[in-house]
Structure 1
Amino acid sequence: CPDDTNGAAIYGDPALDVRVEPVREPLYEQEVVVIPGTDRDTITFRITMNEKGSPGFTGKWGGRHPIAFLPFRVEDIDIVHTNAYNTMITDNLALMYIWKQGDPPLEEGEQREVVFTAKRYLAPPWGFTVRDVGDGTALYLVWQKGTAPQIIGYKVYYGTISQIYTDTIDVGVDTSYTLDGLTEGTTYYLAVTAYTAQQEGHFSHEEACIPQTTPRAPTGLTVTDPGVGNTLVLDWNANTELDIAGYKIYYGRFPPFIFTDTIDVGDTVHYTVTELKNDSTYRFAISAYDSDDNESGLSQAAFGTPTRSVGLEEQITMNAYFLSQNCPNPFGYKTIIEYSLPKKVKVSLRIYNLAGQCIRILVDEIQEQGLKRATWNGNDGFEKRVPSGIYFYRLDAGEFTSTKKLTLLR
Structure 2
Amino acid sequence: MKLWKIATTLALLTTMAGSLSFAGTLEAYSNSGVRDVGGSSYLSGNTSSGDLIQIISVGSNGTIDPPDTLGSTTSDDSLLGTTHVGFGFPFNPNEGKFSKTFTHDLLTVGAVVYVRAWNDSVVDATKYYGDSNTYELQSEMDSHDFGTWTVSNPVHVPVELSSFSVEAKPGYNEIRWTTQSETENLGFHVYRSFEPEGERIQITKKMVDGAINSQVRHDYSYEDRTVDENATYYYWLADIAVDGRIAVHGPQKVISVSRPTAYGLDQNYPNPFNPSTSLTYTLKEDGSVKLRIYNIRGQLIRELIDVKQPAGQHVVEWDGLDNFGNLVPSGTYLYVLDVNGHKFTRKMAMTK
**TM-score, structure 2 length as denominator?**
0.35
**TM-score, structure 1 length as denominator?**
0.31
Structure having the higher strand fraction is 2
The structure whose RCO (Cα within 8 Å, separation 6+) is larger is: 2
Structure showing greater radius of gyration is: 1
